[in-house]
């Protein structure tokens, strides 16, 4: 004798017998209801009051049908909860995209692939957390409400605290708080949590998204590249059982060593631009020729190089690759490259044309950091809404000496997209941001 409980997702009748399917978190099983097995009155109640979508308790014996399907022959049942609305049609599931996002519960009921996608997302996060914990990292929590927005170049969400009578910002990134912990002696820290950016919505962007950020003292960005590759490969192996993963029209090979390339070299290789066209006196003509625009007046050479990379190269980076040597002007929190101070010791990881991770040797010189904050503040005064604010408290923390540190952030939503062969970020976030009806 077995007892099960779940949602009735299909039902068909044949006179004095009925077949249906009960679904719970573990899967579905067929039920077989016979009038002579449960009695005339219970069968009449089942026939009259039970509908697809209802939550039922079932008791009965198991058997295998002529087609080989394991089923439960019902001896008793109870209606636990009544559905007042019909479910999406059985064979096609929930196909209306708008309804799928607004009523995710219907999507999860109707589409097994959606349930599996979100289960896999949970496994990805669990594998990541386990990997970090076993490598000596300490998981921490930092504020979601910031008095000064910082940690990334983005437009923040703003709110007001009534009791404190002060403006606060939903966090753009936890970076500056995590680095304060490095100053305090917690030398390997990470946080998995949401960040918020008051910006556009696309297949790759949601205003509320999940990241992992980690900081390690006494290591550099070359070390974190090796660490990142090993962690990603371990996650892929654990959740996909294969190292070559399909994503749209591509086969992403996570088994090979990830390529490493300087930004300038990537613009030359993937942008079809020569070394000479990137010279100080020719880069403006190169941008015009390739229809790459920069709204900022008096942009530096480094900002122009970054614009060319962003426009011409990113979408072509399909296999896992680390892009290194970012211009200092677009990296206000990163330490300068000791061999070329026009660049910083930084990388971004790209897969399938998407940026997945960003890392750099953290700037720990309080005087250099203060000067860059001043430059960012001037840019904000000139109309750059994404420029960093001046954070005096963070400068004070650096004045107490932060050890050489590398920091790293990875987008969990985009990683989930890759490992579930999903081309829209809305399909890997349970409740994505949507316009009002």
Distance CA 377, CA 379 (A): 5
Quick one: pLDDT at residue 91?
Answer: 45
Quick one: pLDDT at residue 233?
Answer: 98
Q: Give me the tens of pLDDT residue by residue for the chain, a chain 437 residues long.
A: 999 999 999 999 888 999 999 999 999 999 999 999 999 999 999 999 999 999 999 999 999 999 999 999 999 999 999 999 998 875 455 667 888 899 999 999 999 999 999 999 999 999 999 999 999 999 999 999 999 988 777 889 999 999 999 999 999 999 999 999 999 999 999 999 999 999 989 999 999 999 999 999 999 999 999 999 999 999 999 999 899 999 999 999 999 999 999 999 999 999 999 999 999 999 999 999 999 998 877 899 999 999 999 999 999 999 999 999 999 999 988 999 999 999 999 999 999 999 999 999 999 999 999 998 998 888 878 877 777 889 999 999 999 999 999 999 999 999 999 999 999 999 999 999 998 87
Quick one: pLDDT at residue 90?
Answer: 54
Topology of domain 2-87, CATH: OB fold (Dihydrolipoamide Acetyltransferase, E2P) (2.40.50)
Topology of domain 112-258+320-427, CATH: BirA Bifunctional Protein; domain 2 (3.30.930)
Written as six digits, the tokens of 126 are 């669990």
Q: Going by DSSP bridges, is the β-strand pair 188-196/138-139 parallel, antiparallel, or unpaired?
A: parallel
Quick one: pLDDT at residue 93?
Answer: 59
Quick one: pLDDT at residue 116?
Answer: 96
Ranges of CATH 3.30.930.10 domains, the chain = 112-258+320-427
| Ordered DSSP codes for 250-281 | EEEE-SSPPEEEEHHHHHHHHH---TGGGSTT
E strand or H helix that includes residue 170: strand 166-170
Distance CA 119, CA 117 (A): 5
Quick one: pLDDT at residue 150?
Answer: 81
Ranges of CATH 2.40.50.140 domains, the chain = 2-87
Q: What is the pTM of this model?
A: 0.92
E strand or H helix that includes residue 115: helix 112-134
């Amino acid at each position: 004798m077995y007892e099960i409980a779940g949602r009735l997702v299909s039902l068909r009748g044949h006179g004095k017998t009925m077949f249906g399917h009960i679904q719970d978190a573990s899967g579905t099983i067929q039920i077989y209801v016979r009038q002579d097995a449960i009695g005339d009155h219970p069968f009449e109640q089942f026939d009259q009051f039970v509908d697809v979508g209802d939550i039922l308790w079932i008791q009965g014996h198991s058997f295998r049908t002529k087609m080989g399907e394991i089923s439960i022959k019902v001896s008793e049942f109870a209606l636990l909860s009544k559905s007042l609305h019909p479910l999406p049609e059985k064979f096609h599931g929930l196909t209306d995209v708008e309804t799928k996002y607004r009523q995710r519960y219907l999507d999860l009921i109707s589409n097994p692939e959606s349930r599996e996608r979100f289960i896999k997302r949970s496994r990805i996060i669990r594998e990541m957390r386990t990997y970090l914990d076993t490598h000596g990292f300490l998981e921490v929590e930092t504020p979601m409400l910031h008095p000064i927005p910082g940690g990334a170049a983005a437009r923040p969400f703003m709110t007001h605290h009534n009791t404190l009578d002060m403006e606060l910002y939903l966090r753009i990134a936890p970076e500056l708080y995590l680095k304060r912990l490095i100053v305090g002696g917690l030398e390997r820290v990470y946080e998995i949590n949401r960040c918020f950016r008051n910006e556009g919505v696309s297949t790759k962007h949601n205003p509320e998204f999940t990241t992992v950020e980690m900081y390690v003292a006494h290591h550099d960005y070359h070390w974190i590249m090796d660490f990142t590759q090993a962690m990603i490969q371990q996650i892929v192996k654990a959740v996909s059982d294969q190292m070559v993963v399909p994503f749209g029209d591509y086969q992403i090979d996570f088994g090979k060593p990830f390529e490493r390339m300087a930004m300038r070299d990537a613009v030359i290789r993937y942008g079809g631009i020569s070394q000479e066209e990137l010279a100080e006196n020719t880069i403006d003509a190169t941008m015009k020729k390739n229809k790459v625009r920069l709204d900022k007046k008096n942009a530096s050479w480094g900002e122009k190089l970054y614009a060319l990379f962003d426009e011409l190269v990113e979408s072509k980076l399909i296999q896992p690759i680390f892009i290194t040597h970012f211009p200092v002007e677009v990296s206000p929190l990163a330490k300068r490259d000791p061999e070329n101070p026009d660049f910083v010791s930084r990388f971004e990881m790209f897969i399938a044309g998407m940026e997945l991770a960003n890392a750099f040797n953290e700037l720990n010189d309080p005087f250099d950091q203060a000067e860059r904050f001043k430059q960012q503040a001037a840019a904000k005064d000139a109309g750059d809404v994404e420029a960093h604010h001046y954070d005096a408290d963070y400068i004070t923390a650096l004045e107490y000496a932060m050890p050489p540190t590398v920091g790293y952030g990875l987008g969990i939503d985009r990683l989930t997209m890759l490992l579930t062969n999903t081309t829209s970020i809305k399909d890997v976030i349970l409740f994505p941001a949507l316009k009002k009806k």
